[in-house]
Amino acid sequence: MESASNGHGHEHGHEHGHGGDHIHPPPSNFLTKYVFSTDHKVIAVQFFCMGFTMFLVGGLFALLLRWQIAYPFQPLPFGLGEVIYASAPGHTMPPESYPTLVTMHGTVMVFFVIIPLLTGAFGNYLIPLKIGARDMAFPLLNMLSYWVAVPAGVLIIMAFLSEAGGPGAGWTSYPPLSALPQASPGSGAGQTLWLLSIFCVGWSSIMGGINYLTTIINLRAPGMSLTRMPLSVWALFITSVLQVLATPVLAAASILLLFDKLLGTSFFLPAGINVGGQAIAQAGGGNPLLFQHLFWFYSHPAVYILVLPAMGLVSDIIPTFTRKPIFGYKAMAYSMAAIAGLGFIVWGHHMFQAGMNPYVATSFMVATMVIATPSSVKVFNWLGSLYGGSIRFTTPMLCCLAFVSMFIIGGLSGVFLAATPVDIFFHDTYYVVAHIHYVVFGGSVFGIFAGLYYWFPKVTGRKMSEFWGKVHFWLSFVSFNGVFFPMHILGIGGMMRRIADPTIYQHLAPLQSWNVYITMFAVVLGFSQFIVIANIAVSLLRGERVGENPWEATTLEWTTASPPPYYNYLQIPTVHHPPYEFSVPGMESDYIVQSAPPRSA
Amino acid sequence: MPQGLQLFPQQASTIAKHVDWLYFFLIAVTIFFATLVCVLVTFFMIRYRRGAKVDRSNPVNHSTTLELLWTGIPLVLAMVIFAWGAVLFYAIQTPGQGAMEIYVVGKQWMWKLQHPAGKKEINELHVPLGKRVRLTMTSEDVIHSFYVPAFRIKKDVLPGRYTTLWFEATKLGTFHLFCAEYCGLGHSRMIGRVVVMTPGDYEKWLSGGGNEEPLEVSGERLFQRLACATCHREDSKGRGPSLAGVFGTSVRLKSGASVVADESYIRESILEPQAKLTAGFDPVMPTFTGQLGEEGIIQLIAYIKSLARKPDSSAPPTPPTSH
Ligand code: HEM
Ligand SMILES: [Cu+2]
Ligand SMILES: [Cu+2]
């Protein structure tokens, strides 16, 4: 590590202004300061507000779905049906709403909650601060990436409210179902708006990714060599590579599907198809599997876009609360790179049952089995980080511990799904739903909570309430497991996903009580989130004021004021230490910030 | 075991127990690792909580041996699971010789099934016990998925191409048949059943009811009616290639490439004749899109297949596995 003490990259920074030493005055105009701001910190907060609002929207969708599964077509409690299903007969869920809600829940959570929160909010806030830069390399592009995500959010809500019916082909939107309004009422204007929205949000992602890559490569402070970067920066770097390489494929897929819908092309429609006995004139020459390949070529890397940044956040937080460097820094960085690299050649594991040649399936299977290895390396390294530490059970730390133990469960259920003979049974059942949620909720969402509690003092200058944080954590953790663990049992029992009414299946009758318990826990899980909102609101006004470094952490963001000034650092720091110098033997203080003067050896 | 907490539904096909062995192995591995991690997390949490009096003088922040171990062991395990899974997967995907062939057409929201002897069913499939059954499946409209949990089989049913599936039932009785792929508003009502009968009962069932004609006979009639026969003559003097013996062989195309003449190729040749032109012929074949439903196409395919069997009555050509 000694060899890397000279900061390359920084020298180029001077010419580009924002990495350089001169300081711009902050904008004085309200509009440029808070709305069309180019300040990465403001943009991060904007992304956070959007992501968190959408989290509530997506959560509401989920609760409506859960009610329907537990009590199919029965009125909502407390007369809520009269408000939510005001125009429906009997004020119960109309049949066409279920698929729309499934589609919206998945889409909102993936594209408008997790990705914006992890890369848009945390990525934006932390990258420049953690590498010692004044802002992103392209502040204007950064602003654009937010202001493209906003119309995307508006479009997705418009899609939902579309008069002809909201999109209803699932977040995966496979054609021909998604292409033909004859096949599903939501596949008209609703699906078209969905596609436009995904196209926009994809652009936002690409712009963000390019910006992060450029920033991390060029604007690192002197001495911030690659091997001194905090793991969160590594994670965001690798995530950005995925975003930049994979998202264009999603954009292409959505454009082709838009053409099929609007221009009468037939990329995904084979000859001779009929819907309800009505021949589809435009169909011919297309291949519905092509869409699946394009979609998963993006969406498998995308699931790692959903989790790698959270892994990074957790890897930054754990050392602070164990007072001990992360275990195996290099292995942590390499394993993330390995996950990302392999992540590009495993997309076919979503299509094992889609009529794929068994030889091709096997090659996807081997890659998927291999990708489980770096994932397990990470888990063991986090365990190693606890070993011999001095653990402080703060709320962010609890969230990190939840992350580690829930992620391992999700990873292990992934191995069942990767074993093709077993996946034959589990594909398209609730087992997959359980898997998804253990990695994305148990993993990413707890990672986001950890990050929220941990960096809130930096962003606002005030701490969140620890007490209410812990209440929120424990309620969420217990009800999370109450909701998603039984879904494994439902999957094993053969309950298919995306079914509006499990009670019409004879074989599911003995399992229906699980569905009722799950829904009860889901309500608790949903309402627990109001605690964190209240905590944010109250803490903003009355939280305990904190100084620069309330957690006694080591990375650069903790060396500037809380909240940081517009220009982040009065003087660009010089980095002399690796990112997690805790409890160094023979030192008085148990932590050394990265920019502390070098130890005289 | 209580009904609500079964480890897996009943096994009713030859492959089910093999799949379940792999599944049980995975459960064992999972329980081991999940317990290991959760116990260690809890143990470390307690032992190394702040203020606990333990020796922290020599913090381990890195250990190549340990890291190699916990990379190596999971990797080896993963490869064992892979090898086991791959061998089993081939067995599950390859129907082998002499399977009895049933055609499946999915549409919103029903399953239509046709037995080789011509008998048709809707949402119900009768099969004999202890005999290999190969399903050749296609969809009229959107993607469906043919799922019989007790047989551990599931395969998407796609429009515009054929996928295949096989099973051999080991238990008499009625088993659930579901659509597993979301296919529109009626998806959760797309339910059927598979009835497994003794071979004797099956024969009786087949011969009961109306006297349907075998698929290939209906196919031959269509072949005449649509005037396919004017171009495709057995004596190779027509404007199109002779179709005798073509099924299952490799066909050379004008583009220089070659394809195996399987069900999907024949379907494409009928609906989009210009898509893959056979070498040595002019592009004169008209499209039959709009004149034929999926069932009609299946009858023609059955007829063309039967032509392939005629000249050499010994072994039927091996059907290609699914793509
Ligand atoms: C050990 C690592 C993992 C393995 C081996 C694995 C394997 C798989 C497989 C084989 C499937 C397809 C299941 C099916 O449809 O039949 C799947 C689905 C899925 N996985 Fe994973 N996975 C892993 C980790 C993750 C992670 C880290 C995430 C996200 C953060 C994730 C998110 C998903 C999602 C969202 C789906 C479902 C997509 C859908 O059909 O809607 N997985 N996984
Ligand atoms: Cu995947
Ligand atoms: Cu279906």
Q: With contact defined as beta carbons under 8 Å apart, do B168 and B131 qualify?
A: yes
Q: With contact defined as beta carbons under 8 Å apart, do A324 and B59 qualify?
A: yes
What mean pLDDT do residues A85-111 have? 86
- Residue A500 is given by DSSP the state S
Q: Contacts of residue A419 in chain B, CB cutoff 8 Å?
A: 22, 26, 81-82, 84-85
Ligand 1 atom nearest the C-alpha of A110 is 35
User: In percent, how much of chain B has pLDDT > 70?
Assistant: 91
Provide the 10 A C-beta neighbour count for residue B25: 17
Question: Helix, strand, coil shares of chain B as percentages rounded to 5?
Answer: 35, 20, 40
Q: Among residues B116, B120, B165, which one has the least CA distance to residue B138?
A: B165
Q: Which residue has the tokens 């945390």?
A: A122
pLDDT reported for residue A550:
93
**A65, A69, A101, A273: which to substitute to probe chain B, counting the most B Cβ within 10 Å?**
A273
Q: With contact defined as beta carbons under 8 Å apart, do B126 and B202 qualify?
A: yes
Ligand 1 atom nearest the C-alpha of A303 is 29
Tell me phi and psi for residue A94, to 5 degrees. Answer: -70, 150
Q: Is the pLDDT assigned to residue A19 strictly greater than 60?
A: no
pLDDT reported for residue A397:
95
- Residue B11 is given by DSSP the state P
Q: Contacts of residue B147 in chain A, CB cutoff 8 Å?
A: 428, 496
Q: Is A348 in the pocket of ligand 1 (CB under 6 A)?
A: no
Nearest bound ligand to the CA of residue B143:
3
What residue spans of A349-445 are helical by DSSP H? Answer: 358-386, 395-418, 420-426, 430-437
Tell me phi and psi for residue A213, to 5 degrees. Answer: -60, -50
Q: With contact defined as beta carbons under 8 Å apart, do A221 and A133 qualify?
A: yes
Band of residue A165 on the pLDDT scale cut at 50, 70, 90:
confident
Q: Is A105 in the pocket of ligand 1 (CB under 6 A)?
A: no
In DSSP terms, B127 is beta-bridged to B196
Q: What are the residue ranges spanned by the domains of chain A?
A: 36-269+284-592
Q: Contacts of residue B79 in chain A, CB cutoff 8 Å?
A: 369
Select the residue of B48, B159, B185 nearest A99 (Cβ to Cβ). B185
Cis bond upstream, residue A116 (ω within 30): no
**B22, B93, B152, B153: which to substitute to probe chain A, counting the most A Cβ within 10 Å?**
B93
- Report yes or no: A549 at the B interface, CB cutoff 8 Å: no
pLDDT reported for residue B9:
79
Q: What are the residue ranges spanned by the domains of chain B?
A: 3-46+63-93, 100-207, 215-306
Nearest bound ligand to the CA of residue B182:
3
Q: Which residue has the tokens 């091997």?
A: A227
Q: Among residues B231, B239, B246, B242, which one has the least CA distance to residue B281?
A: B239
In whole angstroms, give the CA distance from residue A149 to residue A355. Answer: 36
What mean pLDDT do residues B64-73 have? 85
In whole angstroms, give the CA distance from residue B239 to residue B231. Answer: 5
Q: With contact defined as beta carbons under 8 Å apart, do B150 and B10 qualify?
A: yes
Q: Packing angle between helix A124-131 and helix A189-218, nearest 10 degrees?
A: 10
In whole angstroms, give the CA distance from residue A234 to residue A127. Answer: 10
Provide the 10 A C-beta neighbour count for residue B42: 12
Q: Is the pLDDT assigned to residue A433 strictly greater than 80?
A: yes
Q: With contact defined as beta carbons under 8 Å apart, do B152 and B13 qualify?
A: yes
Q: Is the pLDDT assigned to residue A46 strictly greater than 80?
A: yes
Residues A263-276 pLDDT 10s: 988 899 988 888 88
Domain A36-269+284-592 in this protein, CATH class:
mainly alpha
Q: Which residue has the tokens 């050749």?
A: B136
Contact call for A370 and B75, based on CB within 8 A? yes
In whole angstroms, give the CA distance from residue B321 to residue B105. Answer: 18
Shortest distance between the Cα of B313 and any Cα of chain A, in A, equals: 29
- Cα separation of the two ends of chain B: 39
* Strands of the sheet with B163-168, listed across from one edge: B120-122, B110-114, B100-107, B132-139, B163-168
What mean pLDDT do residues A474-489 have? 95
- The token duo for A600 is 């005289």
Q: Contacts of residue A506 in chain B, CB cutoff 8 Å?
A: 176
In whole angstroms, give the CA distance from residue A375 to residue A381. Answer: 10
Higher pLDDT, B211 or B2: B211
CA of B142 to the centre of ligand 3 (A): 9
Q: Is A294 in the pocket of ligand 1 (CB under 6 A)?
A: no
- The token duo for A416 is 């069942």
Shortest distance between the Cα of A164 and any Cα of chain B, in A, equals: 14
Contact call for B184 and A286, based on CB within 8 A? no
Distances (CA, A) of B191 to A6, A213, B133: 68, 50, 20
Provide the 10 A C-beta neighbour count for residue B290: 12
- Separation of CA A355 from chain center: 30
Q: With contact defined as beta carbons under 8 Å apart, do B39 and A383 qualify?
A: no
Q: Among residues B168, B170, B220, B194, which one has the least CA distance to residue B104?
A: B194
Ligand 1 atom nearest the C-alpha of A171 is 41
- Residue A5 is given by DSSP the state G
pLDDT reported for residue A31:
78
- Report yes or no: B286 at the A interface, CB cutoff 8 Å: no
Tell me phi and psi for residue A464, to 5 degrees. Answer: -85, 160
Q: Is the pLDDT assigned to residue A8 strictly greater than 50?
A: no
- Separation of CA A32 from chain center: 28
Burial class (CB in 10 A: 0-12, 13-18, 19+), B190: buried
Q: What ipTM describes this predicted complex?
A: 0.87
- Report yes or no: A563 at the B interface, CB cutoff 8 Å: no
Nearest bound ligand to the CA of residue B181:
3
Amino acid making up residue A591: Y
Third-level CATH fold of B100-207: Immunoglobulin-like (2.60.40)
CATH 1.10.3720.10 fits B215-306, yes or no: no
- Report yes or no: A184 at the B interface, CB cutoff 8 Å: yes
pLDDT reported for residue B235:
74
Chain B's closest residue to A187, CA to CA, is: B184
Torsion sign (Cα): B43, B44, B45, B51: positive
What mean pLDDT do residues B11-18 have? 90
Q: Is the pLDDT assigned to residue A36 strictly greater than 90?
A: no
- Separation of CA B204 from chain center: 28
Tell how many helices (H) and how many strands (E) occur in chain B.
7, 12
Contact call for B63 and A328, based on CB within 8 A? yes
Contact call for A328 and B67, based on CB within 8 A? yes
Q: With contact defined as beta carbons under 8 Å apart, do B293 and A274 qualify?
A: yes
- Report yes or no: A390 at the B interface, CB cutoff 8 Å: yes
Three-class SS state of B127: strand
CA of B182 to the centre of ligand 1 (A): 18
- The token duo for B167 is 């099973």
Contact call for A381 and B78, based on CB within 8 A? no
Select the residue of A273, A499, A511 nearest B160 (Cβ to Cβ). A273
Contact call for B60 and A384, based on CB within 8 A? yes
Shortest distance between the Cα of A473 and any Cα of chain B, in A, equals: 17
Mean pLDDT of the residues in chain B:
84
Task: Return the residue whose CA atom lies nearest to atom 4 of ligand 1.
Answer: A414
In whole angstroms, give the CA distance from residue A399 to residue A113. Answer: 18
Q: Is A167 in the pocket of ligand 1 (CB under 6 A)?
A: no
Distances (CA, A) of A390 to A321, A413, B54: 7, 32, 9
Q: Is the pLDDT assigned to residue A72 strictly greater than 50?
A: yes
* pTM of full prediction above 0.80: yes
Contact call for B18 and A421, based on CB within 8 A? yes
What mean pLDDT do residues A482-487 have? 95
- The token duo for B211 is 């006297």
Which of A:412-441 have CB within 8 Å of B?
A: 412-413, 415-416, 418-422, 424-425, 427-429
